Amino acid sequence: MIAVVCPGQGSQKPGFLQPWLEDSESKAHFQRLSEAVELDLISYGTEADEETIKDTAIAQPLIVAAGIVAGRALQRTSGFDMSSAIFAGHSVGEITAAALTNVLSEEDAMRFIRVRATGMAEAAAQAPSGMAAVLGGTEDEVRQHIADAGLTAANSNGGGQIVAAGSLENLREFAANPPARARVIPLKVAGAFHTEFMSDAVQPLQEFAQGLSTADPVATLLSNYDGQPVASGEEMLESLMQQVTRPVRWDLCMATLLEREVAGLIELPPAGTLVGLAKRGMKGVPGTAINAPEDVAAAQSLLNA
């Protein structure tokens, strides 16, 4: 079994959509998704600078659209049977995974992410907050140090990496007094995602979700909540709403992938982060990052291995 993984916010880079526009089907696909989300994703993904696409309201739709387009391109050009894979997404990547497993239609997934991204951007603007990666240290000690600093362990990424989130003041004090044998690296994000700082973004999502139709996933789909497969489309949609303020347990997702003895990992664009985490947390499992149409060939060789 192959794992298809979808990255979260912070993985985007200026111009990262450019290679996909050389493929006419992919370009047309981006245009359809742009219409659904009412944003010029092609312009943002090819011409905008780093600061512009750092904006949560833009970054999240860009990332989801890129993953959907690349996933469908992989399916189209390689004949890859999506139902035979196991899917997981990190944070906003869960919406990508939900679309590729048909829990949500692509258009509804884009509309959902527009509401999510706008709500999270507005919540982030209400108070100065952020996130910082904590590398190394003993896990229990790191978690206690984070809690003692008035912060939240918002992302547990495995391989000795936990992301702390909270007020900028608390993050500065935390960085000045890091856990033993650990490094603290501030992240370029707009707010303390997956914490109570994002609580105001939940109600708009709940209201929007009332008009959505879901389907059960056509492939195994893991949840960030506990790393376990979701049972239904309704369960996944509920999890996606709660995920806004709930920590991401990517370490548990990787643990499940190891338990399922996946033969390899394919990361959809903007790719690299999750393959990197797998090198530490899933040692020995080969991974391929898809960032351009030509990368699909490398992914196909993994599928045929």
User: Residues with catalytic annotation?
Assistant: 91, 194
In angstroms, the CA 174 to CA 146 distance is 8
Instruction: Provide φ and ψ at 55, rounded to 5°.
Output: -55, 125
In angstroms, the CA 247 to CA 158 distance is 13
Backbone CA torsion sign across 37, 270, 81, 255: negative
Tokens coding 99:
């679309």
**Judging by DSSP bridges, how do beta strands 161-167 and 2-6 pair with one another?**
unpaired
Collect all residues with Cβ–Cβ distance below 8 Å to 145 and sequence separation of at least 6: 137, 174, 178, 179, 182
**Judging by DSSP bridges, how do beta strands 152-158 and 161-167 pair with one another?**
antiparallel
- Beta carbons of 23 and 70 less than 8 angstroms apart: no
In angstroms, the CA 264 to CA 7 distance is 16
Cβ count within 10 A of residue 75: 16
In angstroms, the CA 201 to CA 209 distance is 13
In angstroms, the CA 301 to CA 305 distance is 6
CB environment 220-241: b (16+ within 10 A), e (fewer): bbbbbbebebbeebebbbebbb
H or E element that contains 158: strand 152-158
Residues facing residue 182 across a β-bridge: 136
